Amino acid sequence: MQHHLTKEGLEKLRKEIEYLKKEGRREIAERLKRAKEYGDLSENSEYIDAKEAQGKLESRIFELEEIIRNAVLIKKNLQKDIVGVGSTIEVQKGFKTFRYTIVGSREAKPEANLISNESPLGKAFLGRKIGDIVEINTPSGKTKYKIVKIE
């Protein structure tokens, strides 16, 4: 499965995996060592907790490695006439204007106007041009957006 990421997003994941492999594993090893000093491992809650934390850490490392291995770098969309992943667009909804940047799902933050290319809104904008009216079905009914600018 491909994961669309910006250069910054990919770098952030690389830093996280580096931290987890070095610091995270070291911290877990120390917890396991301390817990073993308490004796009987079968009833040792500190040891059980440390093993669970180790499992979660290794799962996250595996997940990050898979994401990085299958990353597709999002380049700034150089086409200013068609909306694509990496485009920043300005749209009008009624009398209000909104700015959205279309990113991969891993970097989406709707509260910061970073919308996923896989979201209903993101999908609806992809491939559209300035002046296009885009209709989105929402829980409150159909909503229309007019694309006024593509960066």
Domain ranges of the chain: 3-73, 88-150
pLDDT of residue 39: 74
What confidence tens digit (pLDDT) does each residue in 8-19 have?
Answer: 889 999 999 999
Handedness of CA 127, 130, 135, 136 (dihedral sign): positive
Percent of the chain with pLDDT over 90: 70
Q: Which amino acid is at 25?
A: R
pLDDT of residue 11: 94
Q: What is the pTM of this model?
A: 0.70
Residues 89, 77: contact at Cβ < 8 Å? no
Burial class (CB in 10 A: 0-12, 13-18, 19+), 74: buried
Which residue in the block uniquely carries the two structure tokens 């829980």? 139
Q: Which residues neighbour 75 within 8 Å (Cβ) at sequence distance 6 or greater?
A: 86
- Which two three-digit tokens encode residue 115? 């919308």
| CATH assignment of 3-73, among 3.40.50.300, 1.10.287.180, 3.40.640.10, 3.10.180.10 | 1.10.287.180
pLDDT of residue 35: 86
* Mean residue pLDDT across the chain: 91
Could you give the 3-state DSSP secondary structure of residue 29?
A: helix
Q: Which of 123, 124, 127, 105 is nearest to 114 (CA)?
A: 105
Q: How many helices (H) and strands (E) does the chain have?
A: 4, 7
Q: Quote the CA–CA distance of 87 and 13 in Å, as a whole number.
A: 22
Residues 35, 46: contact at Cβ < 8 Å? yes
Third-level CATH fold of 88-150: Chitinase A; domain 3 (3.10.50)
State the Cα angle at 65 between 54 and 101, rounded to 5°: 115
What confidence tens digit (pLDDT) does each residue in 35-94 have?
Answer: 888 777 777 888 889 999 999 999 999 999 999 999 988 876 666 789 998 899 999 999
Could you give the 3-state DSSP secondary structure of residue 112?
A: helix
